[in-house]
Amino acid sequence: MNNDMTQKSFAREAYISTKACESNHANVVKFWGYSSSSDNWYLVYQFMSGGTVETALIKKKRYMTGSLEDIARITQMALDAANGLLHLHNKKIVHRDIACRNLLMDEAENVWYVKNEINKQILN
């Protein structure tokens, strides 16, 4: 990929990230800003200390006992993810890789959508 294409892609990502986070939604990771220097570009997002849903559910096998508490927790995680995705869709942003690895958790294990480079904004 040439440098002009990379710069355009980066600028588009920064713009979409800004649009996704404008209303400070409870289930979309905050976008703090961007930085660049020579050939390096950085997008800065809110830190999520709980890791990914993939790590919690698949690798660590958390919430897998079948207890009512675990079922309630997994249901809440799904609702958190759905609320974040609905927010992105309302902003006309389509997340093209919906997966547990793209869902982050905070210290209270609330689920947040992370905006990443495979999102696309649909323009009217």
Question: What residues act catalytically?
Answer: 97
Unique residue bearing structure tokens 């547990």: 100
N-to-C CA span, the chain: 28
Cα 118 to its chain centre, rounded Å, is 11
Is residue 106 within 8 A of residue 59, CB to CB? The reply is no
Could you tell me if 93 and 20 are in contact, meaning their C-beta atoms sit under 8 angstroms apart? yes
